[in-house]
Amino acid sequence: MNTTELAAHWMPFTPNKAFKANPRMLVGAQGMYWTTDEQRQVLDMTAGLWCCNAGHGHPHIAEAIARQAQTLDYAPCFGFGHPLSFELSERLAQLAPGNLNKVFYTNSGSESVETALKMALAYHQAQGNGGKQIFIGRERGYHGVNFGGISVGGLTNNHKAFGQWIPNDHLSHTQDLELNAFSRGLPLYGGEEKANELEKLIKRHDASRIAAVIIEPISGAGGVLPPPIGYLKRIREICDRHGILLIFDEVICGFGRTGNVFASQTFDVIPDIITTAKGLTNGAAPMGAVLAGDHIYEAVVEGAGAGVELFHGYTYSAHPLACAAAMATLDIYEQEGLYHRGAEKGELARYFEQGLHSLKGLPGVVDIRNYSLLAAVEFEPLNGKPGATGGLIQTAAWEQGMMLRSLGDAIAMSPPLIIEKSHIDDAIGILELSIRQQLS
């Protein structure tokens, strides 16, 4: 495509001018590979944007969407319903941990986050605690791009032009290179101490004003930061002690990314609300789902009078095509054993870990961290150009046939869960070459 043909699309999270001068176009995808407009095959080590967990182009999903489009293309879900959304909800409730049995549909991770924040406020209001309005997020957290999400998120670029309009405060992030560099699996040190910071924030604001803590069990877009041992459990304990809700943003972690359906199960910590999206439909249709505890639903819905209980929802909530895609996706995850394929102690995760850590000692590499089939390699910032190294490595890898995600001075990998050892070998080989080319 030429410059004129590329002009109209204002692309998201993209350096538009650079892209349009040198476009990287995808025209097809199958299994572990993209096809580019030059008919190159590119190994997908990112599952798209952390979403195509079952790999690309699965016929079962394509057929389900096509069939649904011919049967019921759309159904409003304000005051009306269609059977598939109830079947899907029942299935998600079965998969969810603890009492998270109520499912509210959105179209994206960002909308799931907004929905979860509103649920928390509505819950406290229904309990007579309307003063609980502050949300605690975490530095380097990413919770999407809407106003609630950028308020609780901890990535400065995402809010500096827009503000943070929801009352908020933030825990520090959990990365500590002095204590935990080159950690394999969960970092060993500092978990409880880091979590205890929440007590300080509670002292600062008072528990009577704090609605919820929202964190990703493993920070994704902030650099892939697995929680140090003990961290999540301690956060849960502190929330319980002070009547503060805990929201896990599992938009990346959900649907097999940590070796279980949800990271909540992997880390044995049950939050009050889980946000999901991405892997729910394998990326094949836009959809998010918020899983809320029975206590949240009972307070907000059962406790209310007649009429609409929660003034919230989207035109495309529970869209029939997305529900069909999600049902088919869950079939594949179950049939192909994908929820547990990347289990931390499993053969595949171990192989991935060994490959990654063989890169220690390469020029510029200051950290390698991984959990299950999720990993990051971090580089020393270039003089005068902090945040540029990830992009350099990403471009070099793309030219050699592999897609990576660049995150400032790091690159992330979150491959489809169908990955085989031979793909891991290829990925580590290309990454090594890219690092040597760019940073020697």
Ligand X SMILES: Cc1ncc(COP(=O)(O)O)c(C=O)c1O
Q: Which of 96, 116, 210, 252 binds ligand X (CB under 6 A)?
A: 252
- Residues 15-74 within binding reach of ligand X (CB under 6 A): none
> Which range in 188-196, 216-224, 336-344, 393-401 contacts ligand X by CB under 6 A?
216-224
Query: What residues form DSSP beta bridges with 43?
Result: 33, 402
Please report whether residue 413 would count as binding ligand X according to CB under 6 A. no
- Six-digit token string for 253: 């972690």
How far is the CA of 68 from the CAs of 90, 95, 168, 203, in angstroms? Answer: 19, 24, 42, 52
User: Which C-beta is closer to ligand X: that of 109 or that of 191?
Assistant: 109
Please report whether residue 216 would count as binding ligand X according to CB under 6 A. yes
User: Which C-beta is closer to ligand X: that of 113 or that of 290?
Assistant: 113
Please report whether residue 221 would count as binding ligand X according to CB under 6 A. yes
Q: Which of 214, 239, 277, 290 binds ligand X (CB under 6 A)?
A: 277
- Sheet with 168-171: strands ordered across: 102-106, 288-292, 273-276, 245-249, 210-215, 134-138, 168-171
Please report whether residue 168 would count as binding ligand X according to CB under 6 A. no
> Which range in 114-122, 191-199, 247-255, 340-348 contacts ligand X by CB under 6 A?
247-255
CB of 49 to ligand X, least distance (A): 6
CA separation for the pair 365, 354 (Å, rounded): 16
Please report whether residue 249 would count as binding ligand X according to CB under 6 A. yes
CB of 79 to ligand X, least distance (A): 26
Q: Which of 104, 142, 248, 352 binds ligand X (CB under 6 A)?
A: 142
Please report whether residue 174 would count as binding ligand X according to CB under 6 A. no
Q: Which of 238, 242, 233, 299 is nearest to 270 (CA)?
A: 233
Please report whether residue 251 would count as binding ligand X according to CB under 6 A. yes
User: Which C-beta is closer to ligand X: that of 357 or that of 369?
Assistant: 369
CB of 99 to ligand X, least distance (A): 22
Please report whether residue 409 would count as binding ligand X according to CB under 6 A. no
Please report whether residue 220 would count as binding ligand X according to CB under 6 A. yes
Please report whether residue 148 would count as binding ligand X according to CB under 6 A. no
Please report whether residue 143 would count as binding ligand X according to CB under 6 A. yes
Footprint on this chain of ligand X (rule: CB under 6 A): 108-110, 113, 142-144, 216, 220-221, 249, 251-252, 277
